[in-house]
A and B are shown apart, each in its own frame.
Chain A
Amino acid sequence: MNIFSFGNIIIYIDRFIKFINSIFFVILIVGLSFALIISPIDYLQGDTVRIMYVHVPSAWIGLSIFSIIAISTILNYVFKIKNLFLLLKSLAPIGLLFTGLSIVTGSLWGKPTWGTWWAWDARLTSMLVLMLFYVLFILSLKYLKDKENLPKILSAISILGVINIPIIKYSVEWWSTLHQPASIKFLGTSSIHYSMLIPLFLMLLVLLLYCALIFLMKYKTEIIKIKKQNIKRL
């Protein structure tokens, strides 16, 4: 029995969706109560710091989803793996959602802290460019009629876009920006107090589970669409 055949995989997806549904709201409530009630206020920003618990995880998710999309687009183009095409088709809107969310929450945070909604500094501009790449990617997925050349065009877009990812990450170190440098580093100590790191990672978990839920539902829909097409062909 092949678990990757379309008939079987739907059963597994359904089980997975049910599992996430059963734990999602519990973790959501725990995460929100940590982020909104239990965690302390910041010594400088006060309650505004709570915006960070949504802003930072959604920016991370936006960046990592684009990287996944770029890799799978290229692999799909070179080796013609059908499943990867479905994967990136279902991931792209989620990435756009979270990139947009991080820009909106960032600007809500910027007004009380910096004194402006928006500044054309390197970090903010490169993040906006990432969002435009998502939009371009999704529009070409949706409206390009030339299905044969679609993987070629998509991989060109995603190469252009993926070069932007390290630029976003290091923009705050290479150039002088209004945006502060990263507080959490891969190596070394982070400059966020641990009582604020707990809600941050809890919210990351919540948002990741939400991503997984939406992704599985989209993926299932795409599989069902393909099945329907095959039925018509018969």
Chain B
Amino acid sequence: MLTKKIKTRLFFLLSVIFITLLFLTFIYLSLKKNILYFKTPSEIFIFDEIKSNSKIRVGGMVKKDSIQQNNKEIKFILTDYKKELIVVYNGAVPNLFSEERGAVVEGKLNDKSYLIADRILAKHDENYMPPEMKKILENAK
């Protein structure tokens, strides 16, 4: 069934696949750091090349009872349960932003534990359920 013509075509395809994979590896290796949408507070603490005053995106959980709000700005602690980061922001937060939920903040680092945000995004998890179900789960805890 495999005539010579078909063999040349298969050879062409395999070389295309090979070259593509090669290119993708190079692209991946050079993009490795930028491909992450956000860093965690502990990564900021560990890596020395993250300078203060540089633009950065940090993701984590908003710590319980840490949100302080006055009419000018909102201040809260972002945590990955290892390291914590104090975030200050003035502006409106998204509806889903609340304590013990994921959030991604974008802004400038003042030092390794203090960030002035100019954008806050709420992160949604993969759980979907009706309100009654949530109540049942909470009562069971």
Contact string against A for B residues 1-32, beta-carbon threshold 8 Å, 1 for contact and 0 otherwise = 00000100110110011001100100000000
Q: Check: A67 CB closer than 8 A to any chain B CB.
A: no
CA distance A151 to B97 in the complex (A): 50
Task: Provide the residues of chain B in CB contact with A41, threshold 8 Å.
Answer: 130-131
Determine if A152 and B12 form an interchain contact, defined as CB atoms under 8 angstroms apart.
yes
CB nearest neighbor in A for B20? A160
CA distance A152 to B133 in the complex (A): 54
Determine if A114 and B122 form an interchain contact, defined as CB atoms under 8 angstroms apart.
yes
CA distance A113 to B134 in the complex (A): 18
Q: Check: B123 CB closer than 8 A to any chain A CB.
A: yes
Known contacts A78-B10, A159-B13, A177-B37; is-contact A196 B128 (Cβ 8 Å): yes
Task: Provide the residues of chain B in CB contact with A156, threshold 8 Å.
Answer: 16
CB distance from B5 to the nearest CB of A (A): 9
Determine if A193 and B130 form an interchain contact, defined as CB atoms under 8 angstroms apart.
yes
Known contacts A175-B35, A183-B126; is-contact A115 B12 (Cβ 8 Å): no
Q: Check: A234 CB closer than 8 A to any chain B CB.
A: no
Contact string against B for A residues 35-49, beta-carbon threshold 8 Å, 1 for contact and 0 otherwise = 000001111110001
Q: Report the count of interface residues on B (CB-CB < 8 A).
A: 39
Q: Check: B96 CB closer than 8 A to any chain A CB.
A: yes
CA distance A49 to B6 in the complex (A): 50
CA distance A115 to B89 in the complex (A): 15
Q: Check: B70 CB closer than 8 A to any chain A CB.
A: no
Q: Check: B127 CB closer than 8 A to any chain A CB.
A: yes
Determine if B13 and A155 form an interchain contact, defined as CB atoms under 8 angstroms apart.
yes
Task: Provide the residues of chain B in CB contact with A196, threshold 8 Å.
Answer: 128-130
CB distance from A59 to the nearest CB of B (A): 14
CA distance A42 to B94 in the complex (A): 17
CB nearest neighbor in B for A114? B121
Known contacts A113-B122, A115-B94, A155-B16; is-contact A193 B129 (Cβ 8 Å): yes
19 contacts between A and B (CB under 8 A): A43-B129, A43-B134, A44-B96, A79-B6, A113-B95, A113-B124, A114-B94, A115-B97, A122-B35, A152-B9, A155-B16, A160-B16, A163-B21, A163-B24, A176-B36, A180-B124, A193-B129, A196-B128, A196-B129
